[in-house]
Amino acid sequence: MQKALIVSPDPQTARMLTLALELEGWETRQSAETSVSMSRGMDAIILDLVEGEHEVKAAAKGLDAVVKAGAKAVVILPRGYDREKAAKQLSKAALIIARPFHLTNLVKQATELFE
């Protein structure tokens, strides 16, 4: 069973991601912010970024610690954010998803990271 920490400022999105992942057999926890201590023991950290450039930059800085803690990072980009720019900024991310996204595809792609 894969374990995921869902980090989202939006409670509805966090619940949606939690339900979708748990239906696929994941064990999940939710948080409004990322911390290295919370990422320990997690297989994946799902970062829901909604605010734009400054949030992406902050996430990029935090990904090193998350990856060192042994988790794979799945990043959901803010709406309209440039994917190529994100790929450069978030090079430590195992998976980058652009909004709008299909929930089933996100879960499938996240699950495939561990196959």
Query: In this predicted model, which residue has the larger pLDDT, 106 or 61?
Result: 106
Mean pLDDT confidence for 43-65: 86
Q: What tokens were used for 96? A: 């980058």
Mean pLDDT confidence for 5-11: 91
Q: What pLDDT shows up at residue 63? A: 84
Smallest CA-to-CA distance from 7 within 35, 37, 41 is with 35
Under 8 Å between Cβ of 44 and 113: yes
- Per-residue pLDDT tens for 69-95? 888 999 999 999 998 999 999 999 999
What domains, with CATH codes, occur in the chain? 3-112 (3.40.50.2300)
What percentage of the chain reaches a pLDDT higher than 90?
Answer: 66
Question: Dihedral angle at the C-alpha atoms of 77, 78, 84, 86, nearest 10 degrees?
Answer: -60
Q: Rounded to the nearest 5°, which phi and psi values hold at 29?
A: -135, 155
Indicate yes or no: pTM above 0.85. yes
**Angstrom distance (rounded) from CA 10 to CA 1:** 25
